[in-house]
Structure 1
Amino acid sequence: MGLGLGLGLGWSQLALAAGAADALRAFVQDAKAGRAGFTQTVHAPNGNRTKVSSGRFEFSRPNRFRFEYQKPYAQTIVSDGEKVWFHDPDLNQVTVRKLGDALGSTPAAILAGQSIERDFDLKDQPDQDGLSWVLATPKSKDGTIQSLRVGFKGRSLSAIEIADSFGQRSVLQFADLQILPSLPAATFHFAVPAGADVSGP
C-alpha cells in the first residue's frame, strides 16, 4: 500500500518514530488531500458478518470528501464543505444534510476533518494484525458511534474500525492510498440528477 509522492517529510518521520496517536495527529495535519480504494465489512452484535461493500473515496481538507460505493450496490456520498449529499441511484433519491449534522464523530471527520483533538480523545492501543492502533473516543456522546480504532501500517493509514451504540462493528480497509497536494474542487461538487427526489435542507 503506497502513500504516493505527495507525502510530506515531516509526517513520514513522525509516523515512523512515534505511536499511532501521533501518526494520526500528523495525518490530519499534513495529509491535505488523497484518494484510495476501500472495503467495508459490517459485523452484527453476535459477530457474524452481515454486509461487505467496496468502492473508492477521495478527500480534501477541510471537510470535503466523496465516497463512491460500487459493490454490491452503487451509492454516492459527497461533502462540498457545507452540505453532505447522499445519492441512491437505483431509487434516484438524494438526501441533503448540513455538514455539522452529518460529519460529527464519524470516520469522515478523521479522513477529511481538521480538528481531531476537539472531537476525539486519543489513546494508543496494542499492535494487532500487523498494525499500530489508536483508539479515538468521541467527546460528544450524542451520536451513535461509540468509538473508532484507526490502524496504521508503517506510515500508511490502513484501517478504521467503528463500534456503534447498536452493537455493530464496521471495518473500513484501505488500499492504494495516495496522499496528494490537492484535488480539483469539482471532485466534491454534487449535481442533482434529473428527476431525482430530493429531501433535506
Structure 2
Amino acid sequence: MVLIAASAYPASSAGLNAMENFMRTVKSGKADFVQVVTAPPKDGQAARSKTSRGSFSFVRPQRFRFDYRQPFEQTIVADGQTIWLYDVDLNQVTARKQSQALSSTPAALVAAAVDVKDLQSDFVLQEQPDKDGLSWLQATPKAKDGQIQQLRVGFKGDLLAVLEIADSFGQRSVLTFQNFEANAAVPASTFQFKPPAGADVVRQ
C-alpha cells in the first residue's frame, strides 16, 4: 500500500482521505443501487430521466459485477480478463478485453485500482466541498478520447455512497448506493460469466 504524505494535499482533503481509506480498508463489498440517467434537453423539450435499480458487488482488484433488474435486465461482469455485458431482452453478449476498457471508467474508481496513486495514473483528482452530508472527490480522466468527461464520488464516512458521471454526450448519471456491506464475503463464482446458450456474442 502506498500512503500519501499528509503534505501532498490540503489539510481539508476529506474526499481524498475518504477515497484513500476506502481503497485501503475495503477490499470487497456489495450493495444495492439506484441509477438515474438524465439526458440533455433536445429540440426545446425538457431534460428526460430514467431510473434503474439493481445490485453491485466487487473484489479488488479488477473484479466487479452490476446486475440491473428494473426496468430492464442487464448484467455487467468483469472477471479480471474480460468485461462481459449481457442484455437479456436482446439476448446479446458483448465481450471486451478488460485491460483496454477499464482504466478511465467509473469502475476503476470503485473497484479496480489498488490505491490513490494507481488512480492518479489515469485521473486528475480534485477535492470538492462537503455537500449533503457527504465528502466529495472529483476525478477527471487524463485520456481525452473517452466517453467519460468527469466523475464525482461521494463518501459517507469511508463508505461509497454516490457516484456521479458526466459523459461526452451531455448525459448525467447518478448512482446512489444503499445497504453497502464493506468487506463482504463475495464468492468467486460471482465474477464467472458464461454466455447463455443461443445468445449472440460480439467480441470487441
TM-score, length basis structure 1:
0.86
Q: Deviations over 1:168-192 (max 9, x none)?
A: 1110100011111652211100011
Deviation of the 1:128 alpha carbon? 1.8
Compute the RMSD of aligned alpha carbons: 1.7
Q: Partner of 1:21: helix, strand, or coil?
A: helix
Once the two structures are superposed, the pairs formed by residues 134-153 of structure 1 within 5 Å of their partners are 134-153=137-156
1:83 aligns with 2:82: yes
Alignment of 1:1-201 (within 5 A): 19-46=14-41, 48-114=47-113, 115-180=118-183, 182-200=185-203
Using the alignment, how far apart are the partners of 2:86 and 2:122 within structure 1? 27
Whole-Å separation in 2 of the counterparts to 1:166 and 1:103: 19
Structure 1's unaligned 5+ residue stretches are 1-16
Aligned residues: 185
CA shift for structure 1 position 52: 0.7
- Of all paired residues, the percent bearing the same amino acid is 54
SS at match of 2:16: helix
Residues 109-144 of structure 1: CA deviation (Å, up to 9, x unaligned): 111112212211111111222222111111111211
Runs (4+) of structure 1 moved beyond 3 Å? none
Matched residue SS, 1:42: strand
- Segments of structure 2 that go 5 or more residues without pairing to the other structure are 1-11
CA distance in 2, matches of 1:72, 1:151: 25
Q: CA deviation at 1:48?
A: 2.4
Partners in 2 of 1:90 and 1:159 — Cα distance?
A: 28
